[in-house]
């Protein structure tokens, strides 16, 4: 798929619980492309900052933690922090509670964007997050914005928590999602927003396979234009 200046990237943005990770993973499997979960990268930085006790309001501490950060991504979207695979720790409540604040810091975003673009240099990617279509890969071959009703997203999140044996109520999850949406879409640096020209896909009531089919069709149609 070459001959133009578009990157071999499917860029997917959307709020928490819109189905990004599951859909991106499945699409990447189908295409034989790598899956880049950028939310996991921001969670990993958050975990590291918690371990080091970084004060977010102190730019020096933030800078020095970023300079010494050893964050690497595996072939199967695993995340390695200081050489340790940190998968399950990324969903811990304390990470969940801090990740919006950490990911709002411009210095953190700058470091992550550089890593994300470097990943695209290694081969085709399905990249998901909040600023893939707007900031990181505006020149992606295919740009998708996923949405779903807030209630549907809360139900999905609740199912994830149940699988992880965490007892949380529906209203608590709903509030957490609303608060996260607010923070992610109102921050100054790279807020979540629908860029011009993106394909908007509402996943409410759609199966994973149906969503993946649609995105794959959009990609192929774009490629044959
Ligand atoms: O997709 P997720 O829930 O794992 O994302 C965790 C947090 O990271 C979320 O609050 C927003 C932030 N994030 C971001 O700011 N930019 C991205 N590209 C991906 C995630």
Distance, CA 42 to ligand 1 centroid (Å)? 6
| Statement: residue 161 has pLDDT above 90 | no
Tell me how crowded residue 52 is: count the other CB atoms within 10 A of its CB. 13
Task: For residue range 16-29, list pLDDT tens digits in order.
Answer: 889 899 999 999 99
Nearest CA to ligand 1 atom 18: 129
Radius of gyration over every alpha carbon of the chain, rounded to an integer in angstroms: 17
Nearest CA to ligand 1 atom 4: 39
In the predicted model, what is the mean pLDDT of residues 79-108?
93
Nearest CA to ligand 1 atom 2: 39
Q: Which of 9, 38, 137 for mutating ligand 1's site (highest number of atoms within 8 Å of CB)?
A: 38
Looking at 3.30.540.10, 3.10.310.10, 3.40.50.300, 3.90.280.10, the CATH number of the domain 7-223 comes to 3.40.50.300
Q: Which atom of ligand 1 is least distant from the CA of 131?
A: 18
pLDDT value at position 209?
Answer: 96
In the predicted model, what is the mean pLDDT of residues 35-61?
97
pLDDT value at position 146?
Answer: 96
Kindly indicate the confidence band of residue 160, based on its pLDDT and cuts at 50, 70 and 90.
confident
Task: For residue range 173-189, list pLDDT tens digits in order.
Answer: 999 899 988 988 998 98
Instruction: Using a pLDDT cut of 70, give the percent of the chain over it.
Output: 97
- Residue 84: left (phi > 0), alpha (psi -120 to 50), or beta? beta
Q: Which two tokens stand for residue 192?
A: 């979540």
pLDDT value at position 184?
Answer: 86
Residue 16 DSSP class: T
| Statement: residue 1 has pLDDT above 90 | no
> What is the CB < 6 Å shell around ligand 1?
16, 38-39, 42-43, 99-100, 103, 129-131, 180, 184
Distance CA 25, CA 82 (A): 24
pLDDT value at position 224?
Answer: 54
User: Which is more confident, 61 or 190?
Assistant: 61
| Statement: residue 225 has pLDDT above 80 | no
Nearest CA to ligand 1 atom 13: 39
Q: Which two tokens stand for residue 13?
A: 């943005």
Distance CA 212, CA 156 (A): 17
**Alpha-helix runs per DSSP H in 104-205:** 106-120, 150-163, 170-186
Q: Which of 45, 108, 119, 130 for mutating ligand 1's site (highest number of atoms within 8 Å of CB)?
A: 130
Q: Which atom of ligand 1 is least distant from the CA of 16?
A: 3
DSSP-derived 3-state class of residue 212: helix
Average pLDDT, the chain: 92
Distance, CA 16 to ligand 1 centroid (Å)? 8
Residue 78 DSSP class: -
Sign, CA dihedral 184-190-193-198, equals negative
pLDDT value at position 67?
Answer: 97
| Nearest partner of 146 among 158, 159, 128, judged by Cα | 128
| Statement: residue 74 has pLDDT above 90 | no
| Statement: residue 202 has pLDDT above 60 | yes
| Statement: residue 118 has pLDDT above 80 | yes
- What b/e sequence results for 146-174 when a residue is b if at least 16 CB atoms lie within 10 Å of its CB, and e otherwise? bbbebebbbebbbeebeeeeeeeeeeebb
Domain borders along the chain are 7-223
* Distant-in-sequence, close-in-space partners of 179: CB < 8 Å, separation ≥ 6: none
DSSP-derived 3-state class of residue 129: strand
Beta-bridge partner residues of 73 = 79
């Amino acid at each position: 798929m070459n001959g133009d200046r578009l990157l071999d990237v499917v860029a997917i943005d959307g709020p928490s619980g819109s189905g990004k990770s599951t859909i991106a993973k499945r699409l990447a499997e189908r295409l034989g492309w790598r899956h880049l979960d950028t939310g996991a990268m921001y969670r990993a930085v958050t975990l590291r900052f918690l371990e080091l006790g970084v004060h977010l309001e102190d730019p020096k501490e933030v800078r020095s933690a970023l300079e010494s950060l050893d964050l690497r991504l595996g072939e199967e979207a695993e995340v390695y922090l200081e050489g340790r695979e940190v998968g399950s720790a990324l969903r811990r409540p304390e990470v969940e509670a801090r990740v919006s604040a950490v990911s709002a810091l411009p210095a953190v975003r700058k470091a992550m964007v550089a890593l994300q673009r470097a990943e695209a240099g290694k081969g085709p990617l399905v990249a998901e997050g909040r600023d893939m279509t707007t900031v990181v890969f505006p020149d992606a071959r295919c740009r998708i914005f996923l949405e779903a009703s807030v209630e549907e997203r809360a139900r999905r999140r609740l199912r994830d928590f149940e699988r992880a044996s965490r007892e949380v109520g529906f209203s608590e999850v709903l509030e957490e999602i609303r608060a996260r949406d607010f923070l992610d879409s109102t921050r100054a640096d790279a807020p979540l927003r629908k860029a011009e020209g993106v394909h908007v896909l509402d996943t409410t009531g759609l199966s994973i396979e149906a969503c993946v089919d649609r995105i794959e069709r959009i990609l192929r149609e774009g490629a044959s234009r």
